[in-house]
A and B are shown apart, each in its own frame.
Chain A
Amino acid sequence: MANYSTNQFKNGLKVMIDGDPCSMVDVEFVKPGKGQAFTRVKMKNLMSGRTWERTFKSGESVEGADVMDTDMEYLYNDGEMWHFMDPKSYEQVAADQTAIGDAHLWLKEQDACQVTLFNGNPISVTPPNFVELEVVETDPGLKGDTAQGGSKPATLQSGAVVRVPLFIERGEVLKIDTRTGEYVSRA
């Protein structure tokens, strides 16, 4: 991969820090009037998710990381790995538990999601912001209780358990916000 000098740093640039691929979240030029110039970067480690600040002397360079966000289709889970396919090239990749993280809670076969590849291997998976999933288990709905507040747990086809209004029945398809894990509406 190419090396990047501090003057090429920008938000979203992916670089290798201490052996891990990292993404620049915020880039700031820091220079005391009479002192040397530095570039202070808020960095996110794409393996661990940790964010922290790192300082580079002006002119310092870092190695780029071969990281690509790719739109892929979720195929299936074989009990250990989650399999995805690039709909353009039909190439398939498999993500392990660490890479999939909590994303597996929202995956439905054939849904599109974003897979982050590092050297061609998945390191994280981002589901769509909104997904539609069927309720496979919940207490019977209360008729005529559409206005009143109150909620109950419901298990979705993906395995996630979300709080839903009391009137929701088993077999209904719900719209869920994956960023908060909250029920939005009936689909």
Chain B
Amino acid sequence: MPVNCRGRSDTRPVTLCLREFFVSDNPCWNSTASIENLRRRAAIIAAIRTFFAEKDVLEVDTPVMSNGAVSDPYIDTIECRYQPLVGGEVELKYLQSSPEYAMKRLLASGSGAIYQISKAFRNGEVGRRHNPEFSMLEWYRPGFDHRRLMDEVAELLLPLLGLSEAVKYSYAQVFESHLGVDPHHADLDTLRGVAAEHIDSDYQDDNRDNWLNLLMSHVIEPRLASEGAVFVYDYPASQAALAKVSEDAQGRAVAERFELFVHGVELANGYHELTDAAEQARRFDADNRQRRSESLPERPVDHLLIEALEQGMPDCAGVAVGIDRLVMQAIGTDNIADVIAFPLPRA
């Protein structure tokens, strides 16, 4: 039985929510994850590297600290203070929330297929499945669309998770079958009404996508738990982020984006990547308008990404996978502290 730094038998990490570590005043020095779990983690990461080596996908390493920050309104970047002259003026830099922009600039530089295993950082994200510093696997496949990439995601992840197959549903299908509502056309009042049937909250908002996200995370995700691995694809065009937008069979504008949920936990997010520089610039502007209207902090946009897209990025699909959550699922724990040695309070 593990013994913690105060010499007591430490049986709690298995059940203790990460939040408890954050509100505790006396962090312990010892690892929250068992050494056995860290061995499993290392084996999974080794298997990922073997998978990509065999497919001739190049491992790359892009900066963790950068000049620009992510535009997504609901992802907040952690600032850091760089001093060109030690003790002199401070230049703000940003810890990356995902290596996406830099990897796309590599693609535009002619890298071909690439992958990266890196640290990513996000303000305020603390919980059973979140630590502000986490590990991400991200890869890009020139010539793939999001459908072909979904198959490769399944090929890599299912064996690591001990699963044999994944089901695929469109975003419209999961909303229609679990909530009886069309997510592409339902108006704000309808979504509010559906949410009120399932969720007790004082939440107020005029943004349709926020209601869709609330229903997805609170009602649909938990119900996907019984289905093992589930891909959800064809997101509403308004949730395209950095994905191409096209029309589905019903003529609806949909984002060529997918997410993978394993036992009800969001594990991967992928796109048939937007390559149009002008459209990318418009989306950055829209994100910043939304940040202003919601009084969220504005951060400098990464103009180098726009320039790279202007130069030309190959048509490709890309995906990000949360490594900590992958290991959690493989081990069978719902507590991120079981798979990382030192969550932020012990860092």
Contact = CB atoms under 8 A, between A and B. Distances in A.
B165 interface: no
A57 interface: yes
A170 interface: no
Interface residues of A, number: 26
A35 B210 contact: yes
Given A10-B20, A27-B19, A40-B218, A32 B266 contact: yes
Contacts, number: 79
Nearest to B129: A29
A95 to B, nearest CB: 29
B45 to A, nearest CB: 21
B217 A35 contact: yes
Given A32-B266, A54-B200, A55-B201, A37 B20 contact: no
Contact of A34 (B127, B200, B203, B239): B239
Nearest to B240: A34
A59 to B, nearest CB: 9
Interface in B169-205: 199-203
A139 B200 CA distance: 52
A60 B202 CA distance: 10
A36 B130 CA distance: 14
B127 A54 contact: no
Given A10-B23, A34-B75, A27 B17 contact: yes
Nearest to A57: B203
| Interface size range on B against A | 20 to 34
Contacts of A52: 200
- Which of A10, A27, A37, A40 has most chain B Cβ within 10 Å? A37
Interface string A42-56: 000000000011111
A71 to B, nearest CB: 24
Contact of B124 (A11, A54, A57, A58): A58
A8 B75 CA distance: 20
Q: Say what secondary structure dominates the interface of chain B.
A: mixed
B19 A34 contact: no
A8 B23 contact: yes
Given A29-B127, A33-B259, A55 B20 contact: no
A173 interface: no
Given A31-B125, A31-B130, A58-B124, A36 B201 contact: no
Given A53-B200, A55-B203, A34 B269 contact: yes
Contacts of B218: 30, 38, 40, 55
B74 interface: yes
B213 A32 contact: yes
B200 A33 contact: no
- Which of A28, A29, A53 has most chain B Cβ within 10 Å? A29
- Which of B126, B199, B202 has most chain A Cβ within 10 Å? B202
A4 to B, nearest CB: 11
B298 interface: no
B302 interface: no
B72 interface: yes
A3 interface: no
29 contacts: A8-B23, A9-B19, A27-B17, A27-B19, A29-B19, A29-B127, A29-B128, A29-B130, A31-B74, A31-B130, A31-B217, A32-B213, A32-B217, A32-B266, A34-B239, A35-B74, A35-B210, A35-B214, A35-B216, A35-B217, A36-B210, A36-B214, A37-B125, A38-B214, A52-B200, A55-B199, A55-B201, A56-B201, A57-B201
